[in-house]
């Protein structure tokens, strides 16, 4: 049977999350730094709410308390891909 994926961007599985929580990583920020969840292209828009529910249940803490512990930092302004290509100037 396939392992449930919590973070598709970083390919982090449910068992990896549970193991990390059992090892003492008990905040979203700690899990993010340890497992890299929320650091992929979606920047946690998909996985952080799921991760928060898993952590709240596993740590027996209220979900709002768990959600307060992470700061989601989206880019200030989207940048066109061409800007990152070698030799391209911003228009």
Please write the tens of the pLDDT for every residue from 10-32.
999 999 999 999 999 999 999 99
Q: Identify the CA nearest to 38 among candidates 27, 26, 23, 51.
A: 51
Of the candidates 40, 20, 14, 26, the residue with the CA atom closest to the CA atom of residue 70: 26
Residue pair 34/20 in contact (Cβ under 8 Å)? The answer is: yes
| CATH of region 5-84 | 1.10.10.1100
- Residue showing tokens 């946690």: 44
Q: What is the pLDDT of residues 79-90, one digit of tens each?
A: 777 777 766 555
**Beta carbons within 8 Å of 76's beta carbon, 6+ residues apart:** none
Q: What is the reported pTM?
A: 0.72
């Amino acid at each position: 049977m396939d392992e449930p994926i919590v973070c598709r961007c970083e390919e982090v599985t449910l068992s990896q999350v549970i193991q990390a929580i059992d090892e003492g990583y008990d905040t979203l920020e700690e899990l993010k730094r340890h497992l890299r969840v929320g650091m992929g292209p979606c920047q946690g828009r998909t996985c952080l709410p799921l991760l928060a529910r898993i952590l709240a249940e596993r740590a027996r803490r209220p979900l709002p308390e768990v959600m307060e512990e992470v700061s989601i930092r989206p880019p200030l302004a989207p940048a066109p891909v061409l800007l990152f290509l070698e030799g391209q100037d911003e228009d």
